Amino acid sequence: MSERKVAEIKNLIKNYGGKGFQTKVLKGIDLTIYETDFIAIMGPSGSGKTTLLNILSTIDKPSQGSVMLDGKEITGLNNKDLSRLRRDKIGFIFQDYNLLDTMTLQDNIALPLSLNGVSPKSCVERTNELAEMFGLAEELKKYPYQLSGGQKQRGATCRALITDPKIIFADEPTGALDSKSSKDLLECLRIVNENRQATIMMVTHDAFSASYAKDVYILSDGLIKCKISRGSERKEFYDRIIDVQTSMGR
């Protein structure tokens, strides 16, 4: 594990609703994410895992607490600075792909670079490199409606990676995929984490998906209840995740 911090939150609290009618979703979370980490956040519905991801990825703001991203406190940034931060430092992978139907897969993947003014030649070179890694080299000229769900999600992952962001946030990335497509995507995430030193935070309800991470944090009632770290074998890690979930009655 690298000692360079990519993200750090301290005493993170998030409430929803007005005064006197507030729902406390996060109740004082502390979490540090280092370069090359691959962490999974798990928890039952309503535990706060998606809220945690949304705050760390600048989609939402905390009620209280500190949120640092790449060494910068982000809670006080204006919309312009937040947009720049998302563009330069963050990659997103959503459950529903968010590919543009009017663009080819190649153009979808290259879009963040194009918006940043990168030359067409460099866009094509970097797109081809990632497409080869994710088994999409033969699909680049196709449109999203011509692709399977697994191909769409791997394309969305290439798009998230193409700017070499400081951190990738994945929100239930396998939620809409069949078992084979899920495994293919998770293997790709493992490879980019290990070979390209990508830093990944993934929210998932699925123990199989979580077992591809290096560390799993389990949330319950707005708090981190435990951390499980992977050993050498993914299957053994999966079994330990299941055991912890069972012991917690989940």
The C-alpha atoms of residue 57 and residue 83 are separated, in whole angstroms, by 11
Cα–Cα distance, 166 to 147 (Å, whole number): 28
Residue 27 amino acid letter: K
Supply the pLDDT for residue 2.
57
Rg (CA), the chain: 18
pLDDT given for residue 213 in this prediction: 97
Report pLDDT for 21: 82
pTM of this structure:
0.92
Distances in Å between the Cα of 60 and the Cα atoms of 15, 88, 98, 236, 248 are 11, 18, 19, 35, 29
**In this predicted structure, what is the pLDDT of residue 222?**
92
First to last CA, the chain: 30
Measured CA to CA in angstroms, residue 101 lies from 77, 91, 107, 180 at distances of 32, 20, 11, 24
- Residue-by-residue pLDDT tens, the chain, 250 positions: 557 999 999 999 999 987 778 888 999 999 999 999 999 999 988 889 999 999 999 999 999 999 999 888 998 888 899 988 988 899 999 888 889 999 999 999 999 999 888 999 999 999 999 999 999 999 999 999 999 999 999 999 999 999 999 999 999 999 889 999 999 999 999 999 998 899 999 999 999 999 999 999 999 999 999 999 998 789 999 999 999 988 887 6
Contact 13, 26 (CB under 8 A): yes
Strands 200-203 and 167-171: parallel
Q: Report CA-CA distances (Å) from 61 to 10, 17, 30, 140, 220.
A: 14, 14, 15, 37, 20
Cα–Cα–Cα angle for 151, 154, 159, nearest 5°? 125
Q: Name the burial class of residue 124, with classes exposed (0-12), middle (13-18) and buried (19+) by CB atoms within 10 angstroms of its CB.
A: middle
Report d(CA 124, CA 212) in Å as an integer: 30
pLDDT at 1: 53
| Structural tokens at position 4 | 């360079």
Residues in the chain: 250
Residue linked to tokens 């005064």: 19
Helix (H, G, I), strand (E, B) or coil at 9: strand
Residue 95: DSSP 8-state:
T
- pLDDT at residue 146, rounded to an integer: 97
